Amino acid sequence: MFNEDKIKDISKGREGWEDKFNKTLAKTSEKEERFSTVSDMEIKSLYTPVDIRDSDFQGEVGFPGEYPFTRGVQPSMYRGRTWTMRMFAGFGSAKDTNERYHYLLSQGQTGLSVAFHMPTLMGYDSDSPVALGEVGKCGVAIDTLRDMEILFDGIPLDKVTTSMTINPPAAILLAMYIAVAEKQGVDKKKIGGTIQNDMLKEFIAQKTFMCPPRPSVRIIVDTIEYCIQEVPRWNTISISGYHIREAGSTAVQELAFTLADGIGYVEAAVERGLDVDSFAPRLSFFFNAHIDFFEEVAKYRAARRIWARVMKERFKAQDPRSWLLRFHTQTAGCSLTAQQPYNNVVRTAFEALAAVLGGTQSLHTNSLDEVLALPSEESVTIALRTQQIIAEETGVVNAIDPLGGSYFVETLTNKMETEAMAYINKIDEMGGIIAAIEKGYPQNEIAKAAYHYQQQIDSQEKTVVGVNKYEMEEDISVDTLKLSPDLEEKQIAATREVKKNRDNDRVKACLDKVRDACKGSDNVMPHILDAVKEYASLQEICDVFREVFGVYRDPGMF
């Protein structure tokens, strides 16, 4: 980026500064022996053009909306349109959650995001014995199309977009969403949204799994293939690093394992015979925004650049939309503390700012009380207002990629790319991400990093305010949301009622067709859609998957 003579001058100048720096330190030594990010990446005292002397501006930094998209996926970024403020919400019954959605939309939220309760996430109905004690606790209970109809009652599905955090049963929830849209008179070609549908990161980190990795990926490719023609505005996978980070990975690991998962899906879809440009523009990503500000900004910038290169060079995608890494961000739940919970508002604001300066397309900001319980309406409002303040008061949206060109941020972006590529190459050598997961490789790398970080906290090498420093005697009381005690009973009764009143012969016939598709090579999606329209339940369809494909057991490594 600079000519050689200039670099020599700057190097000389830097040496002069370093002398002074060392003399100052002779009097007062540095505060830390070693300065490092929250992921323990070492950071130097000062960055200058010398650090990015080998970078080519056009080839590596460039312009927003232009390859390799380091500075953002759109030419205009937030000057054209701010990011989508998408708050994840779901609790109790479909009716409770529907009321929260109406409230959030009335407060200026622009997209919906559904949190499902554990039994739905794992493919069980509320009336299953394994669901006992879990109904409606961490999200909304969806057993049949009936619950889905209530969830979106009065919400026009041609006007809002919806993100559904759902993995093993993702195809089923997408089918239910299509069915609700059709009942509203909305064509499935017009609906927009996202299903998470990212099973690889489930085996690596989040651990809501059902069938083994290979059949899981087959179902995902079925949804990709189906959506190309039938639901063209749907984001078929949200390739997620969020949970990898929450499980204790470093920023580099989050970046590397997420992109390795993405490569795994593209490989599987291409193997099916799909043209890469027919599906790649509908792949989206989901990253964490952790507390180490610059490391996060660099992570998002590196992610865009690596993905653009992988898609163009490795998979030979021709359509520029296939090169784009579009992503949602959520601030880091694991950075929040139960101690002095109001500090969480501040943490979340810094994390959200990193996501914005990193060029996110949508954002969820955590509520201050999420570490204690489901968030109350008041705390959700503060979290939403945090985004609105960033967007409309701080002025950070005025210039595109304002940190681009910072010697430090560009160096860190390069370092992120180099270290993530080293992991990706290693995974390729192991035979790809599925083989690596079967060997337990990413799982073990994350467990090691999580343990190392905990040791750093315990030894006070890393600070968490209110936890290992600046502690206070306090009575932690925040008004949290309480669920009605008869919720479980009511949900079970409602689901049993639906199962009694539907045409059970037709349900059985539909499930038989799903089974045949699973055993053969037919796409399962159209058969699942037929089944949910007859009010076949989530678990009934998942039981077919489990029967045909088997059940994955956690190897329990630590």
- Give yes or no for a cis peptide into 526 (omega within 30° of 0): no
Q: Which is nearer to other proteins, 122 or 325 (CB)?
A: 122
* CB 461, min distance to other proteins, A: 13
User: Quick one: 28 or 558, whose CB is closer to other proteins?
Assistant: 558
Using the structure block, give the residue that is written with the tokens 């653009």: 308
User: CB of residue 184 vs other proteins: minimum separation in angstroms?
Assistant: 32
- What minimum distance in Å lies between the beta carbon of 331 and other proteins? 17
- The CB-of-291 to other proteins minimum distance in angstroms stands at 15
Alpha carbon 339 to its chain's center: 26
**Shortest reach from residue 547's CB to other proteins, in Å:** 18
C-alpha to C-alpha distance for 171 and 159, rounded to whole angstroms? 22
Q: Which residues pair with 113 in a beta bridge?
A: 88, 163
| CA atoms of 110 and 104, how far apart (whole Å) | 8
Q: Is 240 helix (H, G, I), strand (E, B) or coil?
A: strand
- Continuous segment of H or E residues that includes residue 239: strand 237-240
Give the tokens for residue 366: 């955590």
Q: Give SS3 for 238.
A: strand
CB of 261 to other proteins, least distance (A): 17
Whether 109 and 391 have beta carbons less than 8 Å apart is answered as: no
> Which residues, in sequence order, are bridge partners of residue 286?
240, 328
- Residue 112, beta-bridge partner list: 162
Q: One-letter amino acid identity for 364?
A: H
> Hey, what amino acid is at 450?
A
Closer residue to other proteins, CB minimum distance, 444 or 504:
444
In the complex with other proteins, which residue's Cβ is closer, 91 or 279?
A: 91
Element (H, E) at 235: strand 234-235
Task: Using alpha carbons only, give the angle 328, 225, 527 rounded to the nearest 5 degrees.
Answer: 110
* Count of other CB atoms within 10 angstroms of residue 403: 21
- In three-state secondary structure terms, 277 is helix
Taking Cα atoms as reference points, which of 277, 276, 308, 299 lies closest to residue 59? 308
> What residues make contact with other proteins under the rule CB under 8 A?
118-119, 121-122, 124, 130-134, 137-138, 202, 206-208, 246-248, 334, 337-339, 371-373, 447, 450-451, 454-455, 457-458, 464, 467, 476, 553-558
Strands (E), 53-198: 84-85, 88-89, 112-115, 162-165, 193-195
Nearer of residues 414 and 443 to other proteins, judged by Cβ: 443
**Which residue lies nearer to other proteins by CB, 395 or 555?**
555
For other proteins, which is the closer residue by CB, 65 or 440?
A: 440
For the CB of residue 210, give the shortest distance to other proteins in the complex, in Å. 10
Task: Round to whole Å and give the CA distance between 490 and 95.
Answer: 12
The Cα–Cα gap between 437 and 200 comes to 8
Residue closer to other proteins by CB (options 247, 390) is: 247
Nearest to other proteins of 60, 198 (CB atom): 198
Please, which residue, 131 or 269, has the CB nearer to other proteins? 131
Could you tell me the smallest distance in angstroms from the CB atom of residue 91 to other proteins? Answer: 11
CB of 205 to other proteins, least distance (A): 9
> CB of 121: closest distance to other proteins in angstroms?
7
- Backbone angles phi and psi of 289, in degrees to 5: -115, 100
Least Å distance, CB 326 to other proteins, is 26
Residue number with CB closer to other proteins (229 or 558): 558
Give the shortest CB-416-to-other proteins separation in angstroms: 23
Give exposure, 26-64, as e/b (b: 16+ Cβ within 10 Å). Answer: eeeeeeeeeebbbbbbebeeebbbbbbeebeeeebbbbb
Pick 206 or 331: Cβ nearer other proteins: 206
Please choose, from the candidates 209, 257, 196, 197, the residue with its C-alpha nearest in 3D space to the C-alpha of residue 444: 257
